[in-house]
Structure 1
């Protein structure tokens, strides 16, 4: 009796969980006669007659638990099932079985195409997700930028409003100072203020006329005070005279006198104070040169 270890190969077509597909199982079998007396008694023609029906029955039972695309998982778990010796009939022992499982050829091509399609779909989905994420980030960034712009615009508006309000308050304070001084008849503080704020000359002259507290000669006296106190010289007074002359010229413009208007001072009353100012400025300049 031959009790040596034998190696054989066999192939099976196995059912899948779907029932319409099949697995192809290539099996490498290792077996031997472990009980010679039983083998002589049962007298099998070959060992394949004993192990093949057993393998096919077990493999078909196990393969029905797996869908065709899960053939790799099925192969691993089936091999785990045959990783130990199994005693069969007729004194034969199945030492080891190595199973290689694969879908049938037509199904294998279908699975390849389906896998490629699935991977393409996953890639498109990932790209779409990336675009959506980028769009959300861009939208969030735009909203943040818009909010910052609105905040900046609001701050700019508030600062401009405060600046204008402050300028108005300062203007009101200056005019209040001029009005109070003119009403008191105290022109020295007005002269001092005008020496460093010559742009206020027109408004001060106009304020004097509105309050009717001083005439053109008083305006001349105020400017003369600037010269007498050495607060301005001839070069400085020319600029002031230009403003005063313009303001006075507006007041004596015949076109501005209506039918019901009050008669304004004669032009010669204006020319005389202006000439006196220039003369005084000349005297001051000469005295400066002598010093």
Structure 2
């Protein structure tokens, strides 16, 4: 392989009969021999001429054509899809003369004017499909197209390989870098925003759960308190009903048994009993006073009634006598004896009236 076009591709050599006798075709494959006769007819020589050809039709000369593979580097600027930026392309081209006769006929001296226009036109068409930021995709697309593909060019030249490396120009590179930095910043801000939102959602879920637990605990507490309150009220109603029944029926034994099981109710029940007895005494006294005032009864009429009333008054004034087996109760104020005095006064009035009669 050779690099560049440093040596002539085609060399001409005049031939005589003596030269033809010593002529041997090359067998290394790097050089091809093209003969030209006196009528300028070209022919590829792949064998030694016969004696008759040497004596009767000897060629006028021989063109030695270099058919080995050559390498060349090209640097091109290729347009992008935006139109304002460009790719910088470094192209490694491998080429050779595939048709020596055609190359001799066209007088090929340099191959770059042959393959360069083709590559420039083809690469420009392909690069315009990609934006400047997609230079890697454009490079991969171009190399895939030329991979293991030999392209026949004019004048017997063939391009056997093409490898392209693309890079954005300096201004485009700065633009891509800044755009990449901005995208990274946006992605970082977006990630931070998502993390903040996720934390807020977690906190909201936690607050909602805590609120639900608090409300549930409060509801349970209220329900428990309501149940306990209803239970206390039911027990209180039962005790009140029991005490009321005992007071109304005079079941002192039953009342004492109940108070023995609930010592805390003793004082309250005793006060209720005293209050009830006080009401009974006041009611009886009011009845007698009313009868006396209306002169419906006299002292003689109430003598049979006064004895039991006096006993009741005495019992009311000393209630501990009937409850000697219980703890002493607080002393009560003696009820007024107004009705008895009024009865005695009424009796005196009756006696005076009788005497007057």
Give the TM-score range, shorter chain. 0.7 to 0.9
Number of the residue aligned with 1:31: 95
1:194 aligns with 2:295: no
Larger fraction in helix = 1
Number of the residue aligned with 2:107: 43
Return 63-72 or 185-194, whichever deviates more: 185-194
Q: Alignment length, in residue pairs?
A: 236
Number of the residue aligned with 1:207: 272
Give the match's secondary structure for 2:82. Answer: coil
Higher RCO (C-alpha under 8 Å, 6+ residues apart):
1
Give the match's secondary structure for 1:90. Answer: helix
User: Which of structures 1 and 2 has the bigger CA Rg?
Assistant: 2
Runs of 4+ with deviation above 4 angstroms: 216-220
Return 187-196 or 5-14, whichever deviates more: 187-196
Number of the residue aligned with 1:284: none
Unmatched 5+ stretches in structure 2? 1-64, 281-314, 338-357
Cα RMSD after superposing both structures: 2.0
1:172 deviates by 1.2
1:121 pairs with one of 176, 180, 186? 186
Unmatched 5+ stretches in structure 1? 227-236, 255-261, 265-291
Number of the residue aligned with 1:101: 166
Is this contact kept in 2: 1:179–1:207, CA < 8 A?
A: no
2-side partners of 1:18 and 1:27: how far apart?
Answer: 22
Is this contact kept in 2: 1:208–1:215, CA < 8 A?
A: no
Number of the residue aligned with 2:241: 176
Give the match's secondary structure for 2:96. Answer: strand
Number of the residue aligned with 1:273: none
1:100 deviates by 0.4
1:217 deviates by 4.4
1:9 pairs with one of 45, 62, 73? 73
Deviations 1:220-242 (A, max 9, x none): 533x345xxxxxxxxxx5xxx4x
Number of the residue aligned with 1:78: 142
Number of the residue aligned with 1:234: none
Give the match's secondary structure for 1:66. Answer: coil
Number of the residue aligned with 1:157: 222
Summarize the Cα distance change of 1:30–1:187 in structure 2 as closer, same or farther, 3 Å threshold: same
TM (norm. structure 2) is: 0.62
Give the match's secondary structure for 2:129. Answer: coil
Number of the residue aligned with 1:221: 322
Number of the residue aligned with 1:147: 212
Is this contact kept in 2: 1:13–1:24, CA < 8 A?
A: yes
